[in-house]
Amino acid sequence: MKPFEIIATSAFGIESVTARELTNLGYEDIMTENGRVTFRGDFADIAKANVELRTADRVLIKLAEFRATTFEELFQGVYAVEWADILSPDAFIHVVGKSVKSTLFSVPDCQSITKKAIIEKLIEYYQTGDLKTFDAYSILWVEDTTSEVDFVNGFIETYGDPLGMKASWESTVNFINKEATKRTKIISDNAQWFEDHSPVDKRFKKEKVKGVSAKVITVSMLGGDCYPATPIGINLPNADWIRRDHGSKSVTIENITEAYDKASQGNGFNEEFIWSDAEREALAKYGFLTDNLHTDLHECLGHGSGKLLPDTESGALKAYDSTLEEARADLFGLYYLADPKLVELGLVPDGEAYKAEYYKYIMNGLMTQLVRIEAGKDVEEAHMRNRQLIARWAYENGKADNVIEYKKRDGKTYVVVNDYAKLRNLFGTLLAEVQRIKSEGDFAAGKKLVEDYGVKVDQTLHDEVLARYAKLNLAPYKGFVNPVMKEVRNDKGEVTDIVLDYTEGYADQMLRYSQDYSFLPSYND
């Protein structure tokens, strides 16, 4: 490897002292300038200078020097740097800048251009299929916490693969909901408190929570595995080592949760399946708030909580990993929904609000999600297995205290929660066990937990639920159609606005996408 040009920065006036230190260390061809001393060396010399120099502020590598009078020249100059030669896949990139008598006077713009150039350079390697390059991109994406417009793009989730190896492509484009993000900021700012007070064994807790960022977003465009049925929250990246060393980024997609909430009003579902007016009134009063908070806690803290033991492989739970990971995040959110800390933080109005989400969750896990499964079938999808696992486990382990029970009225089965405080304790106990399984990579225990509680269906109850749901004439799944975005331009040709058109139907949209964006040849013209 050819030697680097190394710059040791120092306070003005003591450059000669720094130069003398370098001379004493055996370096030659030393050049002194205002505030810096330049010499040549390799990686070992960089380490040596960082350790031995007493008067230097920073030890930097000079990678390139070029003239740029436009942002395009700046981009091309940064892009031309061989970043892969100097940056490891898990490298952190932080851009700082100074402008001195420059036509490119906006430092934030220069920073943005520089970041873009680095990412574009990494995209070049991403095209090779090198997963290490995707790791590098994921770290950069996590570090971008200020952009008001963001995206998710990649082969990310493995829920559809029984082996948990083959991922589906998904994409969203979104922009921040500034008002609602105040809620998630409170949560992320207190991430260490939640981690410290978790009911899991301290061996499995993170000593220092890093890089937790969370926001509420409005999703404007969906693609791949997010379309037409979309998640209500996202926490990425999935790599445990990136979460541990660099943090994660979480979002709650509130325009989607709001759409679900509005679509459910007045459709007869609550009247058919909820036990009494008390539960219905609680859901009407608190349901939207607590549902979003559960998603916030699930995505922002749940997925990012805990740690693997040093000798535990990230894929140790194999086909059961996705279900158990979702269970862990759900349980984290459920447990803390009932914590007085949320009242203290102003996230819920009182200590009763959590009961709405508890009831809805247990009812869904034990009964109503069965409308999505054909008669005679078991539960296969990871999120559904997770919900049934939690609800069934809590029901079975709370029987002695009658925490949850099935009640009959007019020949119909209902779910009733009799003791919400004890239910919270059950959630905490199960959270501790699921975290232990994940942290230790206990495949046998994880398999037993999922198979015992998350898979098998009471077929008699299933038949009843399907029959009752059929009378409501409701679809078991809901989906969304992307808007057609039309540019509005002024007389100079500049874009001044975007008009959203929702008149295109799903089938027409899919046909248009296939025609306009397919990269495969068509033989049907």
Q: Which domain holds residue 499?
A: 484-517
pTM above 0.85, yes or no: no
pLDDT given at position 193: 97
Q: Is residue 407 part of a domain?
A: yes
Model confidence at 343: pLDDT above 90: yes
Residues 213 and 283 in one domain: yes
Q: What is the CA radius of gyration of the chain?
A: 28
Strands 212-224 and 248-253: parallel
Q: Is residue 132 part of a domain?
A: no
pLDDT given at position 362: 98
Q: Which has more pLDDT, 420 or 266?
A: 420
Q: Is the peptide bond before 228 cis (omega within 30 degrees of 0)?
A: yes
CA distance 369 to 383: 10
Task: Tell me the pLDDT tens digit for each residue of 41-62.
Answer: 888 888 899 999 989 888 888 8
Q: Is residue 327 part of a domain?
A: yes
Residues 352 and 256 in one domain: yes
Model confidence at 79: pLDDT above 80: no
452, 455, 461, 463 alpha-carbon torsion, rounded to 10°: -150
Q: Is residue 113 part of a domain?
A: yes
Last residue of a domain, one of 97, 126, 155: 126
Model confidence at 101: pLDDT above 60: no
CB within 8 Å of 333: residues ≥ 6 apart: 293, 294, 295, 296, 297, 298, 301, 302
What confidence tier does 272 reach under pLDDT thresholds 50, 70, 90? very high
CA distance 325 to 382: 9
Residues 316 and 264 in one domain: yes
CB within 8 Å of 139: residues ≥ 6 apart: 90, 91, 92, 93, 242, 246
Q: What is the CATH number of the domain that holds 103?
A: 3.30.2130.30
Strands 248-253 and 404-409: unpaired
37, 40, 41, 47 alpha-carbon torsion, rounded to 10°: 10
Residues 366 and 466 in one domain: yes
What confidence tier does 71 reach under pLDDT thresholds 50, 70, 90? low
Average pLDDT along the chain: 88
Task: Tell me the pLDDT tens digit for each residue of 102-152.
Answer: 655 565 666 666 556 556 655 765 587 777 778 877 877 887 777 788 888
Model confidence at 459: pLDDT above 70: yes
Beta bridge partners of 112: none
Ranking 64-68, 234-238, 294-298 by mean pLDDT, the lowest is: 64-68
What confidence tier does 458 reach under pLDDT thresholds 50, 70, 90? very high
Instruction: From 161, 159, 166, 141, select the one nearest 151 (Cα to Cα).
Output: 141
Contact present, 453 and 388 (Cβ < 8 Å): yes
Task: Tell me the pLDDT tens digit for each residue of 378-390.
Answer: 999 999 999 999 9
CA distance 139 to 249: 10
Residues 22 and 96 in one domain: yes
Q: Is residue 250 part of a domain?
A: yes
pLDDT given at position 145: 77
Model confidence at 178: pLDDT above 60: yes
DSSP secondary structure string for all residues of 86-148: H--TT---------SS-S---HHHHHHHHHHHHHHHHHHHHTTT-HHHHHHHHHHHHH----S
- What mean pLDDT is predicted for residues 435-461? 97
Q: Is residue 475 part of a domain?
A: no
Q: Is residue 479 part of a domain?
A: no
Residues 256 and 199 in one domain: yes
Residues 85 and 177 in one domain: no
Residues 153 and 64 in one domain: no
Count structural domains, the chain: 3
